[in-house]
Amino acid sequence: MKRLPASACALAIALALGACASTTKPGVVGAQRQQLMLVSADAVEKMALVNYTQQNQQAKAAGRLVTAGPEYERLSRIAGRLQKQVGTFRDDAVKWHWQLVLIDAPILNASCAPGGKITFYSGLVRQLKLSDDEIAVIMGHEVAHALREHGRERVSKAYAQNALSQAALTAAPNSAAQVEAANQVAHYLYVLPNSRQNESEADGMGLELAARAGYNPNAAISVWNKMAAANKGKAPAEFLSTHPSDQTRIAELSALMPKVTPLYEAARR
């Protein structure tokens, strides 16, 4: 038989091992799918932090970075309660350096970068007139993407397909090459839409986080109905471009209510 090159063997072994990885505990919603993880969490977090810092610097320069006041304090309080529950899915996340930024812009969007870096836009809260419960399920959904390492999973797939190089992932800190590489990685972290499977996982895990934190999980249904109403007859909002809102999604969320409602009731006692 023809012998494979050592590099090819190493990649095959890495693929096999990576396919056996699951980054989180299942919780009551049962997120147990095995994931392909070829790129280290540290490498992805470093690149994500470069983008997160750039985003915040640009918002600050434009006078749009909110770091105090009632809106920020409200989001910070909700984030704090959710963060106390992340150990449900992974123990190490309790020690992440969690951060929250609020950007004052009429954009329907929110995200959580790898390592626990949350971004909310004021347009999402104001235009949809979100309640605390609704903010919690949205934020829980985004936090779940970070806990489940969906971004790292997409970057790993790109690496396996030679769309990203090892050099890009290990660029020297604070160098022009790192900024360029971080922007390339950001394409897989933020621009490409999540798969239906990833979205379902984040929906379920986010719902459980919110319920455990004492927020009504039924708010998830009202959130997606508000999203649909806000975008009726318009081009999809940025938030919806990677977070499809449809009857299937609402049905899936409704099916999870018997699992998470007891957690909410227990948290409210």
CB 184 within 8 A of CB 168: yes
Q: Which long-range contacts (CB under 8 A, 24 or more apart) does 100-103 make?
A: 100/72, 100/75, 100/76, 101/55, 101/56, 101/59, 101/65, 101/66, 101/67, 102/65, 102/66, 102/67, 102/71, 102/72, 102/75, 103/55, 103/59, 103/64, 103/65, 103/66
Beta bridge pairs of residue 164: none
- Exactly one of 45, 134, 142, 199 is catalytic; which is it? 142
d(CA 85, CA 146): 14
Distances (CA, A) of 246 to 165, 225, 255: 36, 9, 14
Q: Does the active-site annotation cover 252?
A: no
Q: Residue 160 corresponds to which tokens in the numbers above?
A: 């396996």
Question: How are beta strands 117-121 and 99-103 bridged, if at all?
Answer: parallel
**Catalytic machinery residues:** 142
